[in-house]
């Protein structure tokens, strides 16, 4: 019995957790932050930034000396020269060699310094690129989020109108039975109810698609029960419109990421020109080499008279052709010295400096400089174009936001008028002074006016968010690494 209680308790807890997970509704801030943490494009940009950081390590490493060690061991088999005696012998010999070298650039036309500065600028540019992508994704998520809210409110409007139509159908049925209105009006109301049901289905499907679009934008793996909050703190205030377009543009020039990217790319292009010009200058480097060797062959310990050939002819006397002889000695071979002794005795060192002066290299240096100058000019034009685009976008966004506000205010006024017209039509229809067709037209116009208020509301909110973006106000504060 006690075990059954435990099982029941666990079941209740699991069921509660499941219901809580399914009832989870996302806020705009949660959606944006989740997208920033899980979006694949952002992760790729983060990896690109890491790769550029590694490039900086390469640039820093060029200031450090290079050190290399070499170790070799070889076998010589057959007829070859004995490296100890210098004689050609048919034998097998072994030879070991050890060496080390160190080199360092003393002066290289400031190329290393400029390469390091360029690497630092590239890191800054990669951070700006990541921030720009985060801003774009935040804006896309906000747009999709607002679209879900719009479709939710639109669904409520369609459901409310369907409920009104169904009540009107019930009321009309009573009026037909009482003989107050003709049966044809009841059929018109019935058609309106069917149309209302169709509109509800369309609104439900549109809402579902918008939820799926937002969930896919967030890259959620499980999105069957995905939903967003109905009550949002998003406000369509007029604060940003209190600023002038000029003030917003001046603020945007200081804060917009695309301008920062263009300025950084211009600085990188300038460094590329400096690096390319550095190839015109001489380079000075220092080096140090150490080497030693050891042989495993027998070495000459001394010499003794050759009993088999005591003398050897070394020439002739001019005129008499008499042979000139010399005592012939045979070398006395002994075991090679210990390996470590040979390494100690045979070691050698070399060091010095090397100056390289470029004279002619097939115009490659000059062409590289000219190529980077062209890239520099393109970067200047790109920065100028980005400024022009920003100015145009700010003024366009300001005009669009102001127009969206006016459209929303007009839609609200129109809705009030349509609501009054519908209430009046409802009264006339109830006493038989208006036929069903005209009444349905009034109801349709009211529904359209309600939908238009919702549409213009969220259109104004989104355009406001874009304008705030240009003014440096993010949807959700982005944590900069």
What is the end-to-end Cα distance of the chain in Å, rounded?
A: 57
pLDDT digits (tens, 9 = 90+) for 370-399: 999 999 999 999 999 999 999 999 999 999
C-alpha angle with apex 64: 61 to 67, nearest 5 degrees?
105
pLDDT digits (tens, 9 = 90+) for 335-357: 667 878 878 888 899 999 999 99
Cα–Cα distance, 255 to 49 (Å, whole number):
21
Domain enclosing residue 213, as ranges = 23-64+110-281+361-470
Residue 16 lies in a domain: no
pLDDT of residue 13 exceeding 50, the answer is no
Cα dihedral sign, 420-421-424-430: negative
Residue 356 lies in a domain: no
Residue 206 lies in a domain: yes
pLDDT digits (tens, 9 = 90+) for 227-270: 888 765 555 555 788 889 999 999 999 989 999 999 999 999 99
pLDDT digits (tens, 9 = 90+) for 262-293: 999 999 999 999 999 998 999 999 999 999 98
Strand 323-327 vs strand 311-316: parallel, antiparallel, or unpaired? antiparallel
pLDDT band at residue 7, thresholds of 50, 70 and 90?
very low
Nearest 5°: phi and psi at 18?
-65, -45
pLDDT of residue 107 exceeding 60, the answer is yes
Nearest 5°: phi and psi at 148?
-65, -45
Residue 302 lies in a domain: no
Residue 185 lies in a domain: yes
Residue 223 vs residue 414, higher pLDDT: 414
pLDDT band at residue 302, thresholds of 50, 70 and 90?
low
pLDDT digits (tens, 9 = 90+) for 26-84: 988 889 899 888 888 888 888 888 898 898 888 888 889 999 999 998 887 777 776 55
- Angle between helical axes of 257-278 and 245-255 (0-180°, round to 10): 40
Q: What DSSP character marks residue 324?
A: E
Give me the pLDDT at residue 362, please. 85
Residue 405 lies in a domain: yes
For the chain, what is the domain count? Answer: 1
Least confident of 13-17, 87-91, 249-253, 273-277: 13-17
Q: pTM of the full predicted structure? A: 0.74
Residue 339 lies in a domain: no
Give me the pLDDT at residue 285, please. 93
Provide the CATH number for the domain around residue 218.
1.20.1600.10
Residue 11 lies in a domain: no
């Amino acid at each position: 019995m006690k075990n059954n209680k435990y099982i029941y308790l666990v079941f209740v807890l699991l069921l509660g957790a499941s219901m809580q997970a399914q009832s989870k509704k996302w806020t705009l801030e949660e959606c944006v932050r989740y997208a920033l943490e899980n979006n694949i494009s952002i992760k790729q940009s983060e990896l690109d930034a890491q790769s550029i950081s590694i490039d900086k390590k390469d640039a820093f490493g060029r200031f450090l000396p290079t050190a290399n060690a070499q170790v070799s061991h070889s076998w010589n088999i057959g007829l070859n020269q004995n490296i100890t005696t210098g004689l050609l012998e048919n034998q097998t010999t072994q030879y070991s060699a050890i060496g080390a070298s160190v080199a360092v650039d003393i002066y290289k036309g400031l190329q290393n310094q400029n390469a390091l500065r360029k690497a630092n600028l590239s890191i800054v540019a990669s951070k700006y690129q990541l921030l720009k992508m985060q801003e774009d994704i935040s804006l896309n998520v906000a747009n999709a989020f607002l679209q879900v809210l719009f479709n939710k409110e639109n669904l409520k409007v369609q459901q409310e109108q369907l409920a009104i139509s169904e009540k009107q159908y019930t009321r009309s049925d009573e009026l037909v039975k009482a003989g107050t209105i003709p049966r044809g009006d009841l059929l018109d109301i019935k058609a309106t109810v069917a149309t209302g049901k169709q509109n509800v289905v369309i609104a439900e499907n549109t809402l579902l698609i918008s939820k799926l679009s937002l969930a896919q934008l967030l890259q959620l793996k499980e999105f069957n029960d995905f939903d967003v909050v109905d009550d949002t703190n998003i406000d369509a205030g007029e604060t940003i419109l209190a600023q002038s377009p000029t003030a917003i543009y001046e603020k945007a020039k200081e804060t917009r990421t695309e301008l920062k990217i263009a300025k950084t790319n211009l600085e990188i292009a300038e460094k590329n020109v400096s690096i390319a010009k550095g190839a015109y200058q001489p380079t000075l480097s220092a080096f140090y080499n150490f080497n030693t060797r050891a042989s495993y062959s027998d070495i000459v310990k001394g010499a003794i008279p050759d009993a088999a050939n005591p003398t050897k002819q070394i020439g002739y006397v001019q005129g008499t052709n008499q042979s000139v002889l010399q005592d012939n000695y045979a070398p006395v071979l002994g075991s090679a010295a210990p390996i470590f002794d040979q390494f100690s005795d045979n070691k050698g060192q070399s060091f010095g400096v090397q100056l390289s002066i470029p004279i002619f290299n097939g115009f490659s240096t000059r062409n590289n400089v000219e190529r980077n100058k062209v890239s520099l000019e393109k970067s200047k034009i790109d920065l100028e174009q980005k400024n022009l685009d920003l100015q145009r976008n700010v003024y366009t966004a300001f005009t669009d936001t102001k127009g969206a506000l006016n459209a929303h205010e007009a839609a609200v006024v129109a809705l009030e008028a349509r609501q009054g017209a519908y209430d009046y039509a409802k009264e006339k229809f109830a006493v038989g002074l208006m036929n069903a067709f005209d009444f349905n037209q009034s109801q349709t116009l009211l529904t359209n006016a309600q939908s238009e208020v919702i549409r213009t509301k969220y259109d104004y909110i989104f355009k406001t968010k874009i304008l705030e973006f240009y003014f440096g106000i993010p949807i959700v504060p982005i944590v900069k690494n």
